[in-house]
Structure 1
Amino acid sequence: MSYKLGLFFVLFQLASLFAQEQNIPAKQLASQQMDIDVFVGFDTTGDLYYIKNNVFYRKNDKELWQYKNVSLGKITKIDFQNQLKIMLYYENFNTIILLDNQLNETQKINFSENEFPILVAASGIASQNRLWIYNSLTQQIGLYDFLKNSFQSITPSLEGNVKYYESDFNTFRWIDDKMNGYAVDVFGKITTINKVRDFDQIQLISNQDVVFSKDGNLFFQDAKKNRIYSIENVDKSFKKFYYKDQILAIFTDQGITNYKITIP
């Protein structure tokens, strides 16, 4: 074997080793029994957000708030990153409801009544009194100003279908049906995110970091380092997980358990 060929073989083995799965141990913090249907997540103050009988709840140790609107059918999407402006999307009626921090309705937006046709397939809270909207009629992502009732597309028509998406104030991220990841900022600049593995559930933490589940197992993917980490010591009978600020919440039939994990 030549020196160059041998060196290549060694480097290939090292690259494969570093790309292999490694473990992240999870340390259990606290558990609470809760009879709920859908666990949505928790905010920076520790308040819990969930759905029971299609009623949306916000709960902490002292208070419980709720919002109910049976006329709009099933709640499809919830965005609570701004606790003063919480968004609920009702797909069956193409309608978004905005709530204050006590879950009082502040605005109702029926996109079927818009001057220009919009069929919402994805939505989220954006910056400066705007909403992220993916209009499935044009397959474009845009920003809807809910004070001016105006919509502006910021991307060309997307190729492929949106399999999963998430957003924050400044970025909309999505995964297409070929498992390719993308992100667009409020100025319309599109960035390619590394390809993700097949998943049952997934949470996009950033343009590089992903937490996902497959066949009852949890994983953390660092696309920048090209590494997959297996998250160990968590209940594998979970129905939903939610990660924020090194805390991993696991929702099972028995309730919610929080774990501390340290992301590499």
Structure 2
Amino acid sequence: MSKTVRKIFFLFFIACSFSAVFAQNQKISGTSLSHFNLDVDTFLGYDSFGYSYQIKNNVFTKTKGNEAFEYKSISLGNITKVDLQNPLKIVLYYDDFNTVLLLDNQLNKITEINFSQNAIPIVVDAIGMSTQNQLWVYNALNQQIGLFDYLKNEYKTVSTPLTETIKYYQTDFNTFYWIDKKNNWFSCDIFGKTTSLGKVSDFDRIEIINAHQYIFSKDNLLYFKDITDTNSTTISEIEILQKTFDNFCYKDQILSIFTTKEITNYKIVTP
């Protein structure tokens, strides 16, 4: 190889390396909308009506201005999962008793389902609201995703058995998303169609926006990633004021940062 060719190759390598570093360090600035103190254990997020949801001392609460509702169950142990997709049918799951409760918009109990008493044995490892009076359920006994009709008390499996442990999952009405322990990202629709969505970045916490975008935290920094970007290395850092935080949630371009005793809401416009 001639000196000229080697020089061109070296310059090309430097340019590519510089482009990759630049792509990984793009910034998204958030506009602070509100900031207030909140004495809770876990902040869960907002619904489309502006109510906030939180847990303190295992009591589930819903607040907006001077309005406040609460629900607690002494007999079922700790709340391990909350699904707020439908504010008229809120899902509370209690892992200790393999039981789910559905609450109305004033946090009155609509129904209680003990999966241990189901005709088809179910041990719930993941759960969320789906369509047509159904719940998404990942059954640890057969390692398959299914749909449970809570009015008919009927369960049907829709996926093949998963081959890796679920590290994180998230649901919407039509889709069950999950990330396995190797950071591979998948989706399953209500008809059982399973799609591989690629590999996600290593994360401490993550929230899926849609089938190609997600926000994640790592070492107390927040990032946005779009897997449809032609440059697969592009990760945009989200600039916030907090140096440390306990959790975050994102809904309708509002990013809520929860620290030990306060919440800050940012307006975030993702690329």
For this structure pair, what is the TM-score category when the shorter chain's length is used for normalisation?
Answer: over 0.9
8 Å contact from structure 1 (residues 76, 89) kept in 2: yes
1:182-221 superposed matches below 5 A: 182-221=186-225
Aligned residues: 264
Give aligned-pair identity as a percent.
Answer: 50
Matched residue type, 1:64: A
Matched residue type, 1:165: Y
8 Å contact from structure 2 (residues 40, 261) kept in 1: no
Q: Secondary structure at the match of 1:72?
A: coil
Matched residue type, 2:255: L
8 Å contact from structure 1 (residues 194, 208) kept in 2: no
Matched residue type, 1:258: N
* Residue 261 (structure 1) shift: 1.2
1:148-187 superposed matches below 5 A: 148-187=152-191
Which portions of structure 1, spanning 4 or more consecutive aligned residues, are displaced by more than 4 angstroms?
A: 4-15
Q: Which structure: larger Rg? A: 2
Return the match for 2:139 from 131, 135, 149: 135
* Residue 199 (structure 1) shift: 1.0
Structure 1 CA distance for aligned equivalents of residues 62 and 26 of structure 2: 36
Corresponding position: 1:262 with 2:269: yes
* 1:13-60 deviation digits (Å, cap 9, x = unpaired): 586356423110111111111110001111112210000110000111
Return the match for 2:249 from 242, 248, 252: 242
* 172-181 or 199-208: bigger deviation: 199-208
Q: Secondary structure at the match of 1:92?
A: helix
Structure 2 CA distance for aligned equivalents of residues 144 and 166 of structure 1: 17
* 1:176-225 deviation digits (Å, cap 9, x = unpaired): 00000000110111111121111111111111111111111111111111
* Residue 234 (structure 1) shift: 2.9
Matched residue type, 1:90: Y
Structure 1 CA distance for aligned equivalents of residues 228 and 50 of structure 2: 30
* 1:139-186 deviation digits (Å, cap 9, x = unpaired): 000000001101110011001100000000000100000000000110
- Hey, what does 2:100 align to over in structure 1? 96
Gapped runs of 5+ residues in structure 1? none
Return the match for 1:106 from 105, 110, 113: 110
Structure 2 CA distance for aligned equivalents of residues 220 and 231 of structure 1: 7
CA 1:190/1:14 → structure 2, altered by over 3 Å: closer, same or farther? farther
Structure 1 CA distance for aligned equivalents of residues 63 and 179 of structure 2: 31
Structure 1 CA distance for aligned equivalents of residues 41 and 240 of structure 2: 24
8 Å contact from structure 1 (residues 97, 107) kept in 2: yes
Q: Secondary structure at the match of 1:70?
A: coil
Matched residue type, 2:180: D
- Hey, what does 1:251 align to over in structure 2? 258
Return the match for 2:31 from 27, 42, 59: 27
User: How much is the aligned-residue C-alpha RMSD, in angstroms?
Assistant: 1.9
- Hey, what does 1:117 align to over in structure 2? 121
8 Å contact from structure 1 (residues 76, 91) kept in 2: yes
